[in-house]
Amino acid sequence: MKVVITHWVHEEVTTFLGSFAQVKAPTTPGQVWPQDRVLLEAADADAVITCMADSVNEAFLKACPNLKIIAATLKGYDNYDVEACKQHNVQLTIVPDIIIPPTAELAVSLALGIIRNVRQGDETVRSGNFTAWRPLHYGMSLSGAVVGFVGMGNLGQAIARLLSPFGVSEMAYYDQSERHTPEGWSGPAWKRAGLQTLLSSCDLIIVSLPLLPSTQHLLDSKALESLRPGAYIVNIGRGSVVDENGILDALNSGRLSGYAADVFEFEDWALASRPKDIPQALRQHPRTLFTPHLGSAVDNVRKEMSMKAAEQVRSLLAAEVPEFAVNQVKQV
């Protein structure tokens, strides 16, 4: 049997897979095969291990008639056509919540970076013009801040736990489900709020929602008009939950003091209307801070994610139900 990995993974993962299958994978660290190369390699494959850079649709599945499983090394699978996988009797699996802690850490890093003007300070030092302290780059403190969470699932709650020791004064959240403050929680109680109320009352807003039809452009230009003047937004969920052009307008108008993101609209392959790139004016805006989808970019975490995906492959090929299956398939 043949397993194709679309991106570079640790040697331990390919060794594990090689114990029961022929493995084809990029060998250069950081390398991701383009889709035409993936389709070439996967045309006769039994399994494909994919990553965030990949997307799976009807055309992909038709081009890989022997495919039994797609093991995705991710948790949010909005770029994967689950119904098409079901129709082709292809198992789709994801990875568990091991990505939550590092993603929460990055969210807090971005929050601190944008409210404390870390990018601007770094540029000042590197400019060669820094001689001593000057009354510049004054920002905002988390101590006493009102923080709002657009999405209070596992990721939002993990971020809240990390932020609490900074002395945040209030925490509000917008979510379809009611979330209760955990027993023994020592920080401020979580207060559920409508989106407009949250935007108008919070100093820092952290977006951690998945991309769904109901969440696409949830924070559009109209919604952003409700922002408390001087607020900051951090997007760690999905790029298209915000309207990046609306974000740019809010920055230019002064309603938004800063925008930090690890996710971007152009990454959301499943949307036919997605842009091809980050708007240039947003990318170059001085009050922004961006990272290239580094939420899970911790070495041991990525290794564990890849190994979990490999274990899903072994389970299915051994006629077992994978632990992290998204859909149901018929055993053949």
150-167 pLDDT per residue, tens: 999 999 999 999 999 999
pLDDT confidence bin for 186, thresholds 50/70/90: confident
* Residue ranges of E strands in the chain: 2-5, 22-24, 47-50, 69-72, 91-93, 146-150, 170-174, 190-192, 204-207, 231-235, 256-261, 288-290
Determine the average pLDDT of the residues in 307-332.
Answer: 91
Distance CA 226, CA 219 (A): 10
Residues with catalytic annotation?
Answer: 238, 267, 293
DSSP 325: B
Q: Does position 282 have pLDDT exceeding 70, yes or no?
A: yes
Which residue ranges form the domains of the chain, and what is each CATH number? 2-97+298-317 (3.40.50.720), 99-290 (3.40.50.720)
What digits encode the pLDDT tens for the residues 252-266? 999 999 999 999 999
Q: Both tokens of residue 20?
A: 């029961």
Contact criterion met (CB below 8 Å) for 209 and 150: yes
pLDDT confidence bin for 96, thresholds 50/70/90: confident
Q: Does position 135 have pLDDT exceeding 70, yes or no?
A: yes
